[in-house]
Chain A
């Protein structure tokens, strides 16, 4: 035990013995998954409360004090509802689709560093950003397969819309990430956070930050980009045929994705676990997670705020925004960053 603590505190992650590595990954991963899933339930409540507050309503307040038990009631309702499997669906894909979205959203958190000591990241891959991009590009299959396997027109339309939207915004998303990678000189999220110890990338990359945030909202299919499930056009889009717990997985998957994307935004552009000042009386190992969670909390609020503020896009406007503005701007951002690094070589990752 003492040896375990010593090893994971001093040696770099790739030199840990496989057993220690597995133990650390299992414990930290378990904590993260548990926290994430229970947080997602409360995120639903938070969203309803914040939306209500912004619209001068009261919001859910019947279950427990301030409606704090509402998530429990929701879960009970969803679990006891009839889990119907329509006769015309493609059974296996219909069941697999909601699982894929949860899986891709949760797995991405494995590469996010939570704090200074290296046992606070599940696995510090040297291709961490690519891991995140790969999983987010796989998330689209969940929607497409849900749309196709439902064997219904509205679901198919939602699936087609989601495919086109997610492919388009993935480009600008990865292109703006690339500029941050150039500044840090590494694909590992840990190295990117370390590169921001003195100056956060949001200051060096204001355009890239804005592009990334917009693309990320489009990627998570939330308002104002929720075309795949626009209820006044195509009923409920890709999850028209889903009910009970399978619907709940889609629903929770969206919130898990919001949490994950907030983590990624704060890690890449807002300095991750680096704080603005030292919090007194708190050990350094806990200070990092506190700062990170504060930033994540702000972005979750920001996502809800956007949803309450903007009306839904029209579909051709959405495509136009993606291809005619976001992608050229992200290329411009990339070139500008390259010029900046050549002019001021101290900014670049490899000196």
Chain B
């Protein structure tokens, strides 16, 4: 019962706020709507029985990644009473093709799901300790790969950031 009370409202909020991200004009508001959408998805995680992932979603997505977006928006000073051509929400012709693609995909997904296996309900797996054991015992290679990806990401970010902050160095030819 509690699960259903959490799941459906969160799902509706997630869909609405995600739509608002796509159709908002101001980057800061878009980031905030995306944060709300992430919150809603995090509540969906909780209702699916994973409080650990719900918290991780908020800490990493809402607490770190979205802050980076906000930081860049503030640095570029976008969205302060400026209505540029490129910030206008998509409308009319621009939406026809992506709309068709997305509808086809969605219909196919739902059709497959209705016809296919995943009948029945969901099980609650909410023990972070068991999650940790499964992760480090069965998927230790994945943990290492994730670490390497993060290392590559930080090296790449530093390299590009150097080029951005010291335009006179040789990295200026990166683009």
Q: Are A and B direct contacts in the complex by CB distance below 8 Å? A: yes
Of the candidates B63, B74, B128, which one forms a contact with A156 in the assembled complex, judged by CB atoms under 8 Å apart?
B74
Does chain A have a CB within 8 A of B64?
A: yes
**What 0/1 readout, one digit per residue, does chain A (123-157) give for beta carbons within 8 Å of chain B?**
00111001101100110110011011001000010
Does chain A have a CB within 8 A of B70?
A: yes
A-B pairs with beta carbons under 8 Å apart, 29 shown: A90-B28, A93-B28, A125-B51, A126-B51, A127-B51, A127-B54, A130-B56, A134-B55, A137-B59, A137-B64, A137-B67, A138-B58, A140-B63, A140-B67, A144-B74, A145-B32, A147-B74, A148-B28, A148-B73, A159-B74, A160-B74, A163-B67, A164-B71, A170-B63, A170-B64, A174-B59, A185-B129, A187-B52, A350-B129
Q: Check A160–B75 contact: CB distance below 8 A.
A: yes
B71 cross-chain contacts in A, Cβ below 8 A: 144, 160, 163-164
The chain B residue sitting closest to A138, CB to CB, is B63
A 233-259 contacts with B by CB, 8 A = none
A164 cross-chain contacts in B, Cβ below 8 A: 71
A 163-214 contacts with B by CB, 8 A = 163-164, 167, 170, 174, 185-187
Contact of A163 with B51 at beta-carbon distance under 8 Å, contacts A126-B126, A127-B128, A170-B63 already known: no
A133 cross-chain contacts in B, Cβ below 8 A: 55, 59, 63
Contact of A144 with B129 at beta-carbon distance under 8 Å, contacts A133-B59, A137-B58 already known: no
The complex places the Cα of A127 from the Cα of B73 at a distance, in Å, of 32
**Chain A contact residues: helix, strand, loop or mixed:** helix
Chain A nearest Cβ from B137, distance in angstroms: 13
B55 cross-chain contacts in A, Cβ below 8 A: 127, 130-131, 133-134
**A residues apposed to B, CB below 8 Å:** 18, 90, 93, 125-127, 130-131, 133-134, 137-138, 140-141, 144-145, 147-148, 151, 156, 159-160, 163-164, 167, 170, 174, 185-187, 350
The complex places the Cα of A159 from the Cα of B67 at a distance, in Å, of 11
Q: Check B63–A137 contact: CB distance below 8 A.
A: yes
* Centre residue among A93, A138, A170, A350 by max chain B CB count within 10 A: A138
Chain A nearest Cβ from B19, distance in angstroms: 19
Does chain A have a CB within 8 A of B41?
A: no
A151 cross-chain contacts in B, Cβ below 8 A: 80-81
The chain B residue sitting closest to A187, CB to CB, is B128
Chain A nearest Cβ from B34, distance in angstroms: 12
| Apart from A126-B127, A127-B55, A144-B74: 4 A-B pairs, beta carbons within 8 A | A130-B59, A131-B55, A133-B63, A134-B59
B128 cross-chain contacts in A, Cβ below 8 A: 126-127, 187
Which 10 residue pairs across A and B have the least CB separation, nearest first? Answer: A137-B63, A130-B55, A134-B58, A134-B59, A127-B51, A127-B55, A134-B55, A163-B71, A127-B52, A133-B59
B14 cross-chain contacts in A, Cβ below 8 A: none
Number of interface residues of B (CB under 8 A): 28
Does chain A have a CB within 8 A of B110?
A: no
The chain B residue sitting closest to A18, CB to CB, is B2
Chain B nearest Cβ from A13, distance in angstroms: 14
A144 cross-chain contacts in B, Cβ below 8 A: 67, 70-71, 74
Q: Check B63–A134 contact: CB distance below 8 A.
A: yes
Does chain A have a CB within 8 A of B21?
A: no
**What 0/1 readout, one digit per residue, does chain B (64-96) give for beta carbons within 8 Å of chain A?**
100110110111010011000000000000000
B52 cross-chain contacts in A, Cβ below 8 A: 127, 130, 187
Q: Check A148–B64 contact: CB distance below 8 A.
A: no
B30 cross-chain contacts in A, Cβ below 8 A: none
Does chain A have a CB within 8 A of B62?
A: yes
Chain B nearest Cβ from A248, distance in angstroms: 24
The chain B residue sitting closest to A186, CB to CB, is B129
The complex places the Cα of A167 from the Cα of B54 at a distance, in Å, of 20
**What 0/1 readout, one digit per residue, does chain B (16-53) give for beta carbons within 8 Å of chain A?**
00000000000010001001000000000000000110
B127 cross-chain contacts in A, Cβ below 8 A: 126
